[in-house]
Amino acid sequence: MSQTPSIMGRPRVVFATGCGRSGTTAMRSALTAHPELLSTGAEDNIVGDLLEACDLNATVKSRRFAMQVSEETHEALFAQLMLDLVFPDLDRIGKDRRLMISTWLTPQSAQRATKLFPGAQFVLIVRDGVATVESRLAHHTFGQQTFEAQCEKWASWGMLSAWAQDRADCLIIRHEHLIADPGATIACVMDFLRLPQSSAPAATLRTQRFHPTPQAQRPRWQTWTDADCETFERICSPTMHALGYPIPWQMASAADS
């Protein structure tokens, strides 16, 4: 492992995150195309795992008691391990570029990330829960999970979006905006990150498709059972309302009454 950096010597990191099937691949690919962002171009979920482990070690009483180093050293070692695993050639290729890490996050691990990487910024993409669950059900891997598990996974990201809301170091973008106007949406991200505007990210979105859901196979909410709709409402309603997304069958019922 390379020499453990002091807190002042750590690079500024951009964390790109979001629920699976919410446009995370498109967002990651677009941002990777920016010439001043350095990214692996893949999911770096080992970082989410390590952030969770770091936070647990520092907060769970028994683990904190067993720590053999100071919390400052503990965080520095975890930070360096993440960099060594994701950017093993950083000393050679990353001196003049911002680092972008794409990983899953929770409010607790995101908060820990702000301590490990001072000045870190977070870009979170969100998508309507109904569309996300539909897409997850049609996915070859995610689709093996139960309907309730799909709902719980999407709703869990509501906690991160609540954490990110109104934070100066966080930007929440919407999947529907990224699709409708990729140029303007990516321009907002560049402004937030204080990076020069570049045509490459939007061009990436306009010229490529990223893991699209097969329309012929896509489950529609109209085919969900009453029990499915009740499960979705029970689990996802608070996050849907917080993000301003309507529940379509509730709107249809209101229109009929």
In angstroms, the CA 99 to CA 118 distance is 13
Q: Which of 215, 212, 254, 250 is CA-nearest to residue 232?
A: 250
Average pLDDT, the chain: 88
Element at 100 (helix H, strand E): strand 98-102
Give, in degrees to the nearest 5, the angle at Cα 136 between 134 and 137. 65
pLDDT digits (tens, 9 = 90+) for 115-161: 999 999 999 999 999 999 998 988 888 878 899 999 999 999 999 99
Q: Which of 157, 127, 137, 113 is CA-nearest to residue 225?
A: 137
In angstroms, the CA 69 to CA 105 distance is 25
Report DSSP state, residue 87: -
Rg (CA), the chain: 20
Q: Which of 11-15, 130-134, 135-139, 172-176 has the lowest mean pLDDT?
A: 135-139
Going by CATH, does the domain composed of 7-200+218-256 fall within 3.30.300.30? Answer: no
Q: Which of 240, 251, 249 is CA-nearest to residue 128?
A: 240
What letter represents residue 107's amino acid?
P
Judged against a pLDDT cut of 80, whether residue 5 lies above it is answered with: no
C-alpha dihedral (80, 81, 85, 88), degrees to nearest 10 = 40
Query: Are residues 12 and 101 in contact, defined by beta-carbon separation less than 8 angstroms?
Result: no
List the structure tokens of 87. 């950017």
pLDDT digits (tens, 9 = 90+) for 35-74: 999 999 999 999 999 999 999 988 888 878 787 888 888 8
In angstroms, the CA 54 to CA 77 distance is 10
pLDDT of residue 1: 46
List the domain boundaries for the chain: 7-200+218-256
pLDDT of residue 64: 80
**DSSP line for 145-188:** S-HHHHHHHHHHHHHHHHHHTT-TTEEEEEHHHHHH-HHHHHHH
